Structures are given as C-alpha cells and as structure tokens.
Chains A and B, each alone.
Chain A
Amino acid sequence: MNLLALSWKNITAKPLSTLMSLILFALGVGMVSLLLLLNKQLEDKFEKNLAKINLVVGAKGSPMQLILSSIYHIDFPTGNISLKEANFVKKNPLVRKTIPLAMGDSYKFFRIIGTNHDYPTLYETELSEGKLWEKDFEVTLGAKVAKDLGLKLGDQFVSAHGFGEAIMQHEQHKFVVAGILKPSKTVIDQLILTNIASIWKSHDHGANDDHNHEGHDHEEGHDHDHDHAHDKKDTPQAEDLDKEITSLLVFFRNPIAAIQLPRLINDKTDMQAAAPAFEISRLNEMMGVGQRALRALALVIILVSGFSVFISLFNSLRERRYELAIMRVMGGSRGKLFALVILEGLIIAVLGFVLGILLSHGAMEVLAYYMQESYQYEFTGKTFMKEEWWLLVGSLLVGLVAAVLPAIQASMTDISKTLSGN
C-alpha cells in the first residue's frame, strides 16, 4: 500500500465520474494530436514535393490549380500550352533549366506523365529494377504504382483518357513497363512516367476518329493534332512546335528571375506563371483558419476536461472528508494528503493523454486510408512526433492545476472538527 496504489483505488472506486473526465481529456488531447499529425504530414509532403521548383508555367487559369496539378498531381490541369511558347520561356537567359510535363491520361487512377529524365532526377529517385523509359510507350513506374497494381517488368497496359474511371481507353497503343523506381516518399511514387511523344501518340487516333470527350474531365487541346505525323523523339523538337504540353517546371538562374520572369510571362504570353512557394503559403493560410478554429475547440475541450477533473475531485473530497481525517490520525501528514489528491489528478491526466494519443493515431490510420484513395497520397498514424511530448507536459499541467485546489483543501482538513462533527 502506498500513495500511488491508494489514489488508483480511489479513482477506480468511482468509475463513472472517472470515465467522464477521461473521455473529455482523451477527446481534447486526441483532437490536438490529430491536427498536429495531419498538419505535419501535409507540410512534409508539400515541402518535399516542392523540390526547389521556382516557377510553374502553364495555361491561364487558377495559379493554385496549376501548382496543385503540376507539382502535387492532385487537381486537374488548367489546360495546355504550345511548345512554341514553352520554348520562349526555356530560352530566356534567366532560366537555368526547364522540365516539360504532358498529362491527361491515367491507368487505374494513376496518372501517366510525359516528361524527360530530368524529372526523376529532380526527386533523386533511383531505379529498383529495369531502366528509365527510352522508346515511345515505354514507361517507368513509381514504387507505389508497381506495388498497388502488381505490375512487373515487361507487363503491358492500355491507358485511359482522363484521370478518373476508365470511360474511354486508348486501345491502339499499349504501354510497356520498362522500369520500376525505388520508393522516394515523394509524389513520383504514384506516377507513371513516359516520354512526351507517347502521350501525343496515344491521342493520335487518326482524323476519322470521331470520339467525343464530353462528359469526362480532361483539359482541352490534347486531341487537336490528330493528323500530325511525328518522328520518334524523346524530347520535343522544332518540328513539334505546334504540339502542346501541359506545363513547364522552371528553375531560375538567379534570384532576379523571381521578379522579372512571372511578370514577363503573365503579360506577354497566353500562359501564366505561378510561384509554388507563394501558392502553398496561400493554401496554408486558407486552411489555417479552419485549423486554428479546430485547435481552439480542442483546447477548450481540454480546459473543460480539466474543470471536470476539478469538480469530480472536489465532490469526492466532501464524501471523503472522514477518511482524509482518519488518514491524518493514522500518521499521514498534510503533505501526504496533498500528494494523494494531486496524484489522482495526474493519473487521470496521464490516462486521458494515452487514450487521446491512441484515439488520434487510430483516427489518422483510418483517415490515411481514405485520403490515399482520394489523393493518392500516403499518410500514416504510426508515427510519433516530439510535439506529442509537449502535449503530455500540457496534459500533466492541466491535471496538476485541476488538482491543486482540492489538494490544498484536503491537506487543510481540520481533523478534530471533522471527527467530532460526526
């Protein structure tokens, strides 16, 4: 028998009020921790996938949509731009490097991206087997694509138009798996990479092909070049200048470009330039309002739970005044009674914290499952953050503060008065 065992017995002797405090505590802690988890993982994804891209150039429209579709591959593209105009950007002396992207097709919800070998290099990915694409219709798969679809080297598949359900397939052309990348924890894990010419050709059904694209989402302009004949080139060449791509990832040669280039592109061309860093901070700001509101709500719940601990301790003291007095008679000092009540508050805080953490990480696992389905992004609840230690410290503080007044009252119990008052 010691104080810890006694406070545990006291807590479990009144399960209902303990449960009430615990549930409130767990809800508050769980909400804060879930917000932290979500925020952290989203920020990590955004940060990692940014990969030092300075600017994205694409068709006019929402700049955020352009960023989301071209860097994070979650929204639909804004449209297409002509190669001619893209080359105008590429040749600008302020530009160090550009990476072209052509999209519009998918295979079983995974996007097929036409690009060059600079793109996997950008994300520092390595090959797990096979090679990078070389010939038309050769593809290299992101690690998650290969794993989820069970595709192996040499497997063939037919792409679908658009990013959703396979409403219409490009059956004339079969893609062949030439290589598979190692997991990189970046967006490239869920992409199917090929050359740009393959994207063009898969849309090249001949002039008589009168399929119509109404009723499913895809950007305009992809299928406007059906009669064009082209040679097998890995990157767009001069004779492809009336061809189109979706967007261009731009890397600056020096910081002045950040000021001059966007204005030049937005004013002088039919294209728009969007700065990822700016758009992402705008996105964070917009989500921030909701997040702050949720966080405030969670903190209120934690405070209420602290208050409920306080009330339940205070009530129990009234019922327990005789036994507290008796404990003094048996030799228990004021300090021991004080510690006893503080311990009861702290035990509830620790239990509530543990319950809350389990709750949030469990919820995160469930969320991860659904978010993966809709965003193709990987999240996990099986990760712990150092912020959660702070959450523990905060919980202990709340338990301590809630218990201090009852503890003082317990230690001040007037033994003689209590025991002679029957």
Chain B
Amino acid sequence: MLKTKDISHTYKGQQPIRFNDIHCQPDTHWLVLGNSGCGKTTLLHMIAGLLKPTTGNVEIAGTNISALPSNQLDHFRGQKIGVVFQKPHFVRSLNVEANLMLAQYLAGIKKDKKRIESILSSLNLGHKLKSMPNELSQGEQQRVAIARAVINGPKLILADEPTSALDDENSREVINLLETQASAQQATLLIVTHDQRLKDHFPNRIQL
C-alpha cells in the first residue's frame, strides 16, 4: 500500500535527512515515533506529496507519486490521501458542512450531503453541521479535521501530531476515532508523533 524507497530531503544549506524505507500493508495502523526536529513532519509531507523528496520515491497504491506532475499529484492526493494536522485549519468563511463540501469539490468527487452528515454523526458532530469552525472547541475542531480527512474515502490516512495539543481524554478519543474511521474504509493509517501516551496503543511502530 505504502512504500518508500531511499527517500531523503535536503533543506537549503543543511545536511540531508535520510529515512529508512517504510512498507505498510492496507488496513494496518502505524505509529512513527521520534523526538522534535528529527524530521517527522518532513517524512509525513513527503509521503503526502506536499514536499518532493530530494532522492528516492514514494509509492502509494501502486502509483509512484514522486514522479507525478503537480496537477496530477494534487488530484491524486485529494482522492487517495487524507491528512490530519497538529493544528486544524479550515476555510474560515465557510461553515463545517461547506468545508467538507469543499473537500469533495476540490478532490473532484460528486457533492454528497448524506455522506457528510453520516461522517459527522459518526464523529458525534451531527449538530455542528452549520457551525463556523471558530465556534468549535479544540477537540471538536480536531474531529472535524478527521471528518475532512476521511470524507473522500482515502486509501491512506496521515496524521501529524494529532494529539499533542489535546488533554488525555480528547487525545484518546481522537486516536480511537482515527482508528475506527481508518478501519471502516480499510485504509492504511500512519500517525507521526512524539506523544509517548500513544506508544502502547500501537503494535506497529517505526522509530526515527
């Protein structure tokens, strides 16, 4: 499902950061652990196609995304990859429902209000359909971000420090939801974190 081969990235004027090859099967959940500054986010961005590897390539569902031209990569990402970031960002002029519709529109998938409603209610957010993002609590915002990441049924779900800003309870809930949603679509889930609270939760771990 997800294969990386000899990937490395060199920021301007710095030493290259090299990563060991990763190989994840469909419907498996992974935790990538590492301290701050060891390149966790760089790795995740390269896997998500947000950052081009300086060397090596990333293969997702049989497609070498490192070789895709920009437009096709955007399209591929929209349909096949869902990303949850440490801090959730939304289009501020749109409400929750419209933000999710935007995700469908940008990925080139048909508008589906029913899907939006069912995802939101599975995340206990059914009543927040018409709320503006900045009216939601941190935990709620992170749950909407999860909804947005899974709305298009991606094959790969990436999460970058999804719990670091949350308390224990919210953190546990977010991880549970991520795992449930990933399992529901048989997607590969890869969580990048330095949050030691999650360590025992995942049998598949990659230490950077």
**Interface residues on chain B, number (Cβ under 8 Å):** 34
- Find out whether the CB atom of B89 lies under 8 angstroms from the CB atom of A330: no
Scoring B residues 55 to 79 as 1 if CB is less than 8 Å from chain A, else 0, what string do you get?
A: 0000000000000001100110111
Of A6-14, A116-124, A293-301, A402-410, the stretch lying at the interface with chain B is A6-14
A320 to B133, CA, bound (A): 14
B48–A329 CB distance below 8 A: yes
Q: How far is the CB of B145 from chain A (nearest CB, A)?
A: 9
- Does A45 make an interface contact (CB < 8 A)? no
Would you call A328 and B89 a contact (CB within 8 A)? Answer: no
Binary CB contact string for chain B from 84 to 103 against chain A (1 if under 8 A, 0 otherwise): 01110111111000100111
Q: Determine if B74 and A9 form an interchain contact, defined as CB atoms under 8 angstroms apart.
A: no
**Any chain B CB within 8 A of the CB of A336?**
yes
**Chain B contacts of A419 at CB under 8 A?**
45, 50, 85, 89
Contact check, A326 vs B45: say whether CB atoms are below 8 A apart: no
Q: Given known contacts A1-B111, A6-B102, A416-B45, is B74 in contact with A331 (CB within 8 Å)?
A: yes
Q: Report the minimal beta-carbon distance from B164 to chain A, rounded to whole angstroms.
A: 11
Asked if A325 is an interface residue, CB under 8 A from chain B, the answer is: yes
B41 close to A (CB within 8 Å): yes
Q: A323-B91, A419-B50, A420-B45 are in contact. Are A334 and B70 (CB under 8 A)?
A: yes
* Inter-chain contact A327/B50, CB cutoff 8 Å: no
Query: How far is A10 from B41 in the complex, measured between Cα atoms in Å?
Result: 30
Chain A residue nearest in CB terms to B71: A333
B110 to chain A, nearest CB (A): 12
Of chain A, the residue at the smallest CB distance from B52 is A416
Q: What residues of B have a CB within 8 angstroms of the CB of A329 in the complex?
A: 48, 50, 77, 83
Shortest Cβ gap from A411 to chain B (Å): 10
Which residues of the partner chain A approach B94 to less than 8 Å between Cβ atoms? Answer: 1, 6, 9
Q: Is the interface of B mostly helix, strand, loop or mixed?
A: helix
Say which residue of B75, B83, B87, B107 sits within 8 Å of A422 (CB atoms): B87
Among B75, B89, B90, B94: residue with most chain A CB under 10 A: B89
Closest Cβ–Cβ distance, residue A415 to chain B (whole Å): 5
Interface membership of B108, Cβ < 8 A: yes
Contact (Cβ within 8 A) B108 A326: no
In angstroms, Cα B51 to Cα A329, docked, is 11
A154 interface residue (CB < 8 Å to B): no
- A326's nearest neighbour on chain B, judged by CB, is B89
Kindly state the separation between the CA atoms of A230 and B58 in the bound complex, as whole angstroms: 113
Inter-chain contacts of B105 with A (CB < 8 A): 1-2
Given contacts A333-B75, A415-B50, is CB(A323)–CB(B98) below 8 Å?
no
**Smallest CB gap from B104: residue in A:** A1
In the complex, the chain B residue whose C-beta lies closest to that of A2 is: B105
Whether the Cβ atoms of A327 and B91 lie closer than 8 Å is yes
Q: Are B102 and A327 in contact (CB under 8 A)?
A: yes
A328 touching B93 by the CB < 8 A rule?
no
How far, in whole Å, are A335 and B106 apart by their CA atoms in the complex?
11
Is residue A61 within 8 Å, beta carbon to beta carbon, of the partner chain?
Answer: no
Interface of A is mostly: helix
Check if A288 is an interface residue, CB within 8 A of chain B.
Answer: no
Known: A1-B111, A329-B50, A331-B107. A10 touches B93 (CB 8 A): yes
Asked whether A330 lies within 8 Å of B102 as measured between CB atoms, the reply is yes
Interchain CA distance A13-B98 in the complex, whole Å:
14
Asked whether any CB of chain A lies closer than 8 Å to the CB of B143, the reply is: no
In the bound complex, residues from chain A placing their C-beta under 8 Å from that of B111 are 1
Q: Find B106's partner among A10, A13, A330, A416 (CB 8 Å cutoff).
A: A330
Assess whether A332 is interfacial by the CB under 8 Å rule. yes
Residues in A1-46 with C-beta less than 8 Å from chain B: 1-2, 6, 9-10, 12-13
Distance between Cα atoms of A225 and B79 in the complex (Å)? 100
Q: Residue B29 at the A interface, CB < 8 A?
A: no
A307-351 contact mask (Cβ, 8 Å, vs B): 1 or 0: 000000000000010110111111111111000000000000000
Specify the chain B residue showing the minimal Cβ separation from A320.
Answer: B92
Residues of chain B from 25 to 57 with CB closer than 8 A to chain A in the complex: 41-42, 45, 48, 50-51
Residue B148 is within 8 A (CB to CB) of chain A in the complex: yes
* A416 near B102: Cβ-Cβ < 8 Å: no
> A321's closest neighbor in chain B, by CB?
B89
When distances are taken between beta carbons in the complex, the residues of chain A under 8 Å from B48 are 329
Chain A residues positioned under 8 Å from B101 (CB to CB): 1
Question: How far is it, in angstroms, between the C-alpha of A357 and the C-alpha of B101 when the chains are bound?
Answer: 36
Which residue of B70, B77, B79, B91 is within 8 Å of A6 (Cβ)? Answer: B91
**Extra inter-chain contacts (7) besides given A13-B92, A323-B89, CB under 8 Å:** A1-B101, A12-B93, A329-B50, A333-B71, A334-B74, A415-B51, A419-B89
Q: List 25 A-B contacts (CB under 8 A).
A: A1-B98, A1-B104, A1-B111, A2-B105, A6-B91, A6-B93, A9-B94, A12-B93, A13-B92, A322-B89, A326-B90, A327-B91, A330-B103, A330-B106, A331-B75, A331-B106, A331-B108, A333-B70, A415-B50, A416-B45, A419-B50, A419-B89, A420-B45, A422-B86, A422-B87
Ranked nearest first, the 6 interchain pairs of A and B with the lowest CB-CB distance are A331-B78, A13-B93, A1-B101, A322-B89, A331-B107, A416-B51
